[in-house]
Structure 1
Amino acid sequence: MTGETYSLPMVALRGLTILPEEVRHFDVSREKSLQAIEEAVKNGQKLFVSAQKDLEIEEPGAEDVYLVGCVVTIRQVVKLPKKMSRVLVSGEVRASLVRMDSETPYLQATVVELPDDEVVSGEREEDDPMNREAMIRGLQDVFKEYLLKNPKLSKELGMQVESIHDLKYLTDVIAANMPFSFEDAQELLEETNVMRRYELLVYKIVNEIQAQKVKEEIQSKVKERVDKNQREYILREELKVIREELGDDNTMSDADEFQQAADALKASKEVKEKLNKEIKRFRNSMNSPAETGVIRTYIETMLEMPWDKTCKEHKDIAFARQVLDEDHYGLEKVKERVLEYLAVRALTKKGEAPIICLVGPPGTGKTSIAKSLSRALKKPYVRISLGGVRDEAEIRGHRKTYVGAMPGRIANGMKQAGVKNPLMLLDEIDKVSNDYKGDTFSALLEVLDGEQNNKFVDHYLEVPMDLSEVLFITTANSLQTIPRPLLDRMEVIEVTSYTENEKLHIAQEHLIPKQIEKHGLKADQLTISKNAIWKMARNYTKEAGVRQLERKIGDICRKSAMEILEKKKKSIHVTERNMEHYLGKELYSYQMANEEDEVGIVRGLAWTSVGGDTLQIEVNMMPGEGEILLTGQLGDVMKESARTGISYIRSVSKEHDITDDFFKKHDIHIHIPEGAVPKDGPSAGITMATAIMSAVTGRKVRADLAMTGEITLRGRVLPIGGLKEKLLAAKNAGMKTVLVPAKNERDVEEISTEITKGLEIKFVTHMNEVLKEALV
């Protein structure tokens, strides 16, 4: 019968391929398929079946089915409702479709049986029984391994496979009992070479085994994770029951404790709603440790925040004044402003907390006075250093979506204070910088704005926080780097340089007792005379504050302690004469007033970050071609002042008997000694103009006179800043008379008599007045 061609009724199967030796049932509902089965039952039970390529086609043609199908024998036909039949068939032989007639009431196929090619590696298989036996055993072993992974398959099938010793029959039986897709089954059906069919079958079975292993591994991991979570849940429930049986009070879960704390928390409705929502999430995520940890941290932070918790207001003005006077000498403006704030609070019961910005040189007590304020007001004190902060999230906090998210410095400061109305010091606000992560200054705008900081939102907390009752104190060394919008929200109080007398009082009342105690000495073991302190402040330090002075006192304390121990001295008295023994050679010396009046030399006054200083401006006239030389590392502003002064003098040359061609035949050299030190600022105009006029006319300048002020082209004198420090420098240099712009008269009135005493201050409005006072 091999290779025979004959005609049979045909059924096109959807999503199904039947293999030889396979017993399979399928349902038919199409009219032509039902007719084909009836015809086959009438004529020998034989039927040709082939799989459709496209399952959606209702009336398939020859091109819509696979050419290789299977001749099957119908074993049983069962009628079903709705004109359907269930057919049980057994596969017989492979056959190839030659022609298909679809015009008849049923599909009629002309097919040719496909013989099996049993050649293995060029030889007849039956001629090599050893090779055939090895292939049979290999296939049986692979199928046995598959059966171990699929215990649902019957044991009888395994026994049947073990008893088969024909390779062709074995491949057909095993292929018929494997749950292959119809595409894989079609591939095996079309392969007529027994050797290649054997290899293809082994490959597909091994793939099934590997897929089964991966599936088992995934299921095992999922089961292990589920079992662990289930075990933890059961253990927690058991622990809860055990605690209840033992009568242990600590029976509440973490979620219950959070809920109890949230109910007792004094906070707004919005905060409580957010907390309750997060606690509910915490309950539902108990089996997810990663998520639970994040939510737990957030809830704990929210519960620690002082939403509506305040400390009692202390309004005793006398006590506040006493504390401020005890801790600080001077600083009258700051003390006065704080006492005003207290007075307003006492009268109104609730006043707006001012945002004070203390600006001044380093070491003048800006940070320490904030600490004293908290003691005077009996408020919790929080210090936040802003130096170098350049990330906006440092102020506003990180969003919870980020790993390691946490609240910003402001929210952390509030949590640290424990109340909503502490004293918060924002130190070094001028040192804040920006980068690609955001504008830190802009983040501070909301914090330091009394109109909107009652709804400050930290990105981590996600609910508004009231900062309106916080007493903010900020400090800065300079206002130049603070943006104007931020500066506008603060009340600036200038903390100026200390005078020598103030340094004396600070040293006697604060620094010396503090250092003596710090170094383990007693008050009667070390005394420092008043003249010694003055000399220390004048010749061993050069600063606006008292930090260096405190260090020098510390040096004296250490050397004194060593002498007391080594030389068994009972007490040490430091005076102006033996100062060098403890501190070495003098480090600084003031440039004292010249002894004689000279031509072309004028003493100017300058402001520096460490206080005031005097500048000696020298001018020389030389034969030349009208060049102007400026030396001494002058900045652009001072160069402009020098040129303006020269232009003014040239404009009034006739009034001072200066020839018309004088400036064409002479070079002017303006120099300020200490050339390595950069100098700039709009306050040396009249000084340079006076020195130039003196050099041009040959008239001497008073040696005991100093001046400060800027000049215009028409000779008007403009006001300047830093007057207190400049007058202090003039007094230390031994000057008797100081020329000051008339518009600075009100500034002089505010300066203590301690500085102005001994100085003759003359106010000038025009260069004519300056020259009249300065030139001899």
Structure 2
Amino acid sequence: MAQSVTLPLLPLRGLLVFPTMVLHLDVGREKSVHALERAMVGNRKILLASQMESHVDDPQTGDIYGVGTVAEIKQMLKLPNGTIRVLVEGLSRARILRYLETEEVFSVEAETVDEDSGEPTPEIEARMRSVLHQFEQYVSLSKKITHETYLAVLDIEEPGRLADVIASHLPLKIKDKQTILEAFDVEERLEQLLRLLSDEREVLELERKINQRVRRQMEKTQKEYFLREQMKAIQKELGEKEGRLAEVEQLREQLAALEMPGEIRERIEKEIDRLEKIPQASAEGSVVRTYIDWLMSLPWKEPEPREIDINRASQVLDEDHYGLEKVKERILEYLAVQKLAHRLKGPILCFVGPPGVGKTSLAKSIARALGRRFVRVSLGGVRDEAEIRGHRRTYVGALPGRIIQGMKQAGEMDPVFLLDEIDKMSHDFRGDPASALLEVLDPEQNHTFSDHYIEVPYDLSRVLFITTANVAYTIPQPLLDRMEVIHLPGYTEVEKLRIAKGYLVPKQLEAHGLTRDQLSISDETLLKIIRSYTREAGVRNLEREIAAVCRKAARMIVDGKKKVSVTKSRLQAFLGPERFRFGTAEETDQVGVATGLAWTEAGGDTLSIEVAVVPGKGKLTLTGQLGDVMKESAQAAFSYIRSRARQLQIPPGFPDEYDVHIHVPEGAIPKDGPSAGITMATALVSALTGRPVAREVAMTGEITLRGRVLPIGGVKEKCLGAHRAGVQKVLLPKDNEKDLQDVPEVVRRQLSFVYVSHMDDVLAEALRPVAEQGEPVLQPT
């Protein structure tokens, strides 16, 4: 039966009171105290309703549930801390109809609902039994509710009261208890309780299973610990303290202190467990121990983010190397992108250039500029794939490959890794190391590099790989395709002088224990060393000569001399007679001798080509260790001249009456390539017509049977060689004009360049007029 009443309201935080419940409440909020006082003045009845959110200190009408419990205040006690402890007994459910007061106290008009005390229907009876059965199972699983509570519940016959009492003992959320409180219909209330009991029982069963599994694991761990301690004690008594178990225990302690991925840790733990079971005298134990040591010594920890300072990096590169602007610019671009992107796959750079230009030292400077570790691996002469990927553990003395060894040496996952002399690799029946490097030098694959020894993927994607080579054409094409090639050309005389003054001389003075006050070398002396004692693209031999000067000076200072000054005139006393003649261009115009330009691994150089015409039967002889391509160029030049004999004022029948001998001096050195074609043709025409070749002219270019001049490579190196030899004019193919931008400006200023597209243009520039020099060698018949 419903009845409307006006009652003060007490909001409850984190608590809900059911009818028939008796419990203590601590009340401290001002509105709640006023509600209690008003209830005590009246009939001692108050409406208890729960807050939706327990953390709200000053609830509004919307923060309080709309259904609560009418309770009677049995006892009230004021505590020393100012709060009031009150004993209440729940009487009946009540639905709030409206709020009458909300300022100083909550006062509401509510509708109370009394329970139906009639005989329960069979459906309700069935639900009561199901609720009791579920509650019994819940009590058997839970440790929070005693069996006596269950026995007390069994004696309750009213279905509504049964549901309220059971719900009050369950550790439910306020929201779930409120659903029970708001269920005025008894059958619906039992249904809701049955669902909540079933859910809670399932949660308890899961908790029990989890606890059992944890307990079993703990028991196993405790058992293993107990057994290990027993074995330690036994070993100690037997004098075997340094046995296998002590070694295994030490490995476990080391592993616990390391940071690494979970799968690697599991692999090491598995191997340690395996090592523990291997007898002390077994040879397999040392194999497993070595494998564990390798896995634990490799860097697995993610590298810390590095603060990238572009200005400092630029300063470091300039301090260590003079020139090389393109290389420095590429490195600074990489740093700038990495600074913005925060995560970038390391590029694969390949420095290609002649010996001594600073490829290896430049890689060291890059590492210093980046603040990373530097690792160098030499690949010269490597012909076994296992050098890169390692050997399988089944082999005696197996070890990881050089890549993994280098990572262990670096001790971090993002070093600068130099693969030196990559063009000197070879291959045989043991495999192709260049093919093994394909995975290492591919940014899309090297995050899971597989070494045959360690047998787990290793991440190389953060490594900055740098390779060096003297020539690019000996590098396999698939490998070359994965790298960004940066060419390092030879140095000009001006650059060599700057490098000697700024880098080489201070370095050698320090290495020989000398100071600038004890030894002085003038600029003219250094230039003399560069011109007369070295002939190279780099500065390696220059550094050796400076070191030789320092040694002589050190001997003189030890003998009592206070200061040594090395001048141009005294240089021969330090280094001996001059080894090279500066300016190898011919001193006079000569017939049958033309100066060509050649590219070598040591940089550009001049190449004299001599032609002799003697009576004979038309035989063409080629000497000077010429390769197939160069021989074919000579044949093409000879055929072109025969086809143009009349225009060149050469008797048409000369091939049948004269033998032609083409020789390239320095015959011990192999020579090849098509770029000497126009030089051979010029020397041939000069020898056959008697017209001298201009001594100040050097040339390079490929010739066709119709006299066209085709482009060639190595323009910068060849121009540097011409400049070093004292040449004044260089004949270049017309299509190579665009390549002059790579030639240093100081060289371009001192050389005169003529672009030719046909052999007629070459002869017009290179040969002196006949009228000035006399009669041709061959007389027309």
Q: Hey, what does 2:629 align to over in structure 1?
A: 637
Deviates more, 1:319-328 or 1:657-666: 657-666
Q: Does residue 683 of structure 2 align to residue 687 of structure 1? A: no
- Aligned counterparts of 1:678 and 1:387: Cα–Cα separation in 2: 22
Counterpart in 1 of 2:184?
A: none
Q: 2:311 aligns with which of 314, 318, 321?
A: 318
Aligned to 1:597: 589
Displacement of 1:638 after TM fit? 2.0
Q: Provide closer, same or farther for how the CA distance between residues 559 and 266 of structure 1 changes in structure 2, counting only shifts above 3 A.
A: same
Partner of 1:559: 552
In structure 2, the residue matched to 1:344 is 337
1:303 alignment partner, one of 290, 293, 296: 296
In the alignment, what sits opposite 1:550? 543
SS in 1 for 2:581: coil
The CA deviation at 1:435 is 2.8
Separation in structure 1 between the aligned mates of residue 491 and residue 737 of structure 2, nearest angstrom: 21
Equivalent positions of 1:725-740 (< 5 A) are 725-740=717-732
Say which SS state the counterpart of residue 647 (structure 1) adopts. Answer: helix
Distance 1:547 1:261, change over 3 A: same
Partner SS state of residue 530, structure 2: helix
- Note if contact 1:311-1:379 (Cα within 8 Å) is conserved in structure 2: no
The reply to whether residue 699 of structure 1 matches residue 691 of structure 2 is yes
User: What is the distance in 2 between the residues matched to 1:394 and 1:592?
Assistant: 46
Which residue pairs with 1:709 in the alignment?
Answer: 701
TM-fit CA distance, 1:595: 3.7
Look up the equivalent residue of 2:285 and give its one-letter code.
T
Q: Aligned with 1:398: secondary structure? A: coil
- Whole-angstrom distance in 2 between the partners of 1:530 and 1:684: 36
1:639 is matched by which residue type in structure 2? Answer: K
d(CA) in 2 for partners of 1:739 and 1:395? 46
After superposition, residues 196-595 of structure 1 pair within 5 angstroms as 236-238=232-234, 253-285=246-278, 287=280, 289-566=282-559, 568-590=560-582, 592-595=584-587
**RMSD across aligned C-alpha pairs, in angstroms?**
2.5
In structure 2, C-alpha distance between the alignment counterparts of 1:721 and 1:752, rounded to whole Å: 17
Structure 1 residue 733: deviation in Å? 2.4
In the TM superposition, what is the alpha-carbon distance from 1:269 to its structure 2 partner?
Answer: 3.1
CA contact (8 A) 2:719 2:743 kept: no
Q: Percent identity?
A: 56
Task: Give the superposition deviation at 1:311.
Answer: 4.4
Counterpart for residue 667 of structure 2: 675
Aligned amino acid, residue 518 of structure 2: Q
Distance 1:472 1:403, change over 3 A: same
Q: For the residues of structure 2 that align with 1:303 and 1:592, how far apart are their CA atoms?
A: 61
Deviations 1:690-714 (A, max 9, x none): 1112222332322211111110111
What SS does the corresponding residue of 1:654 show, helix, strand or coil?
A: coil
Q: Do 2:399 and 2:453's aligned partners in 1 also have CA atoms closer than 8 Å?
A: yes
Distance 1:403 1:553, change over 3 A: same
Cα deviation per residue 1:703-739 (whole Å; 9 max; x = unaligned)?
2111111101111111122222221222232221110
Instruction: Name which of 645, 651, 659 aligns with 2:643.
Output: 651
What per-residue deviation string (whole Å, max 9, x for no partner) do you get for residues 350-376 of structure 1? 112111111112221111111111100
Aligned-residue offset at 1:678:
3.1
Residues 525 and 571, structure 2, Cα contact 8 Å, conserved in 1 = yes
1:768 aligns with 2:760: yes
Alignment-mate amino acid for residue 758 of structure 1: Q
> Match of 2:233, as an amino acid?
E
Structure 2, unmatched stretches of 5+, are 1-227, 769-781
Change (3 A) 1:394 1:765: same
Q: CA deviation at 1:239?
A: 5.6
Q: Is 1:617–1:673's contact at 8 Å kept on the other side of the alignment? A: yes
8 A contact 1:305–1:415 mirrored in 2: yes
Alpha-carbon shift at residue 524 of structure 1 (Å): 1.2
1:296–1:659 Cα change, 3 Å? closer
Contact 1:380 1:422 in 2 (8 A): yes
Kept in 2, the 8 Å contact 1:361–1:477? The answer is yes
Structure 1 residues 513-559: Cα deviation after superposition (integer angstroms, max 9, x where no partner): 11111111112111111111111112112222211111111111111
CA drift of 1:257 comes to 4.1
Contact 1:279 1:299 in 2 (8 A): yes
- Correspondence for 2:143: none
Larger-Rg structure: 1
Counterpart CA distance in 2 for 1:348 and 1:712 is 52
Q: Deviations over 1:169-191 (max 9, x none)?
A: xxxxxxxxxxxxxxxxxxxxxxx
Aligned position for 2:609: 617
Give the 3-state SS of the residue equivalent to 1:425 in structure 2: strand
Q: Which amino acid aligns with 1:775?
A: L
For the 8 Å contact 1:270–1:463, the answer to whether it is kept is: no
* Aligned-partner SS, 2:577: coil
- Cα distance in structure 1, aligned partners of 2:553 and 2:651: 67
Offset, 1:667? 2.4
Shift of 1:468: 0.7
Kindly state the Cα deviation for residue 286 of structure 1 after the two structures are TM-superposed.
Answer: 5.4
Q: Distance in 2 between matches of 1:405 and 1:309?
A: 28
Letter of the 1:774 partner, please give it.
A
CA separation of 1:237/1:594 partners in 2, compared to 1, >3 Å: closer, same or farther? same
Mapped contact 1:387–1:431 kept (Cα < 8 A): yes
| Cα drift, residue 460 of structure 1 | 1.5
Q: What is the aligned partner in structure 1 of residue 208 from structure 2?
A: none
| Number of residue pairs aligned between Structure 1 and Structure 2 | 539
Q: Aligned residue for 1:194?
A: none
Shift of 1:241: 9.1
Could you say if the C-alpha distance between residues 586 and 348 of structure 1 is closer, same or farther in structure 2, counting changes exceeding 3 Å?
same
Alignment of 1:666 onto 2:658 = yes
Q: 1:405/1:676 Cα in 2 relative to 1: closer, same or farther (>3 Å)?
A: closer
Partner secondary structure for residue 343 of structure 2: coil
How far 1:233 moved relative to its partner?
11
User: Does the 8 A contact of 2:716 with 2:742 survive in 1?
Assistant: no
Partner AA of 1:668 in structure 2: V
Q: CA offset at residue 234 of structure 1?
A: 7.8
Partners of 1:463 and 1:732 in 2: CA distance: 54
How many Å separate the matches in 1 of 2:272 and 2:367? 36
Aligned 8 A contact 1:392 1:439 in 2: yes
Amino acid at match of 1:510: Y
Which letter maps to 2:603?
A: G
Cα distance in structure 1, aligned partners of 2:341 and 2:237: 57
User: 1:351 and 1:388 mapped to 2: Cα distance?
Assistant: 32
Query: Which AA in structure 1 matches 2:339?
Result: A
* CA distance in 1: counterparts of 2:431 and 2:561, whole angstroms: 61
CA distance in 2, matches of 1:233, 1:621: 99
User: Structure 1, residues 611-665: CA drift from partner, whole Å, max 9, x if none?
Assistant: 2221222223333322222233333222211111111112222323333323322
Amino acid at match of 1:333: K
* Aligned partner letter, 1:447: V
Is the Cα contact below 8 Å between 2:609 and 2:680 reproduced in 1? Answer: yes
C-alpha deviation, 1:590, in angstroms = 3.7
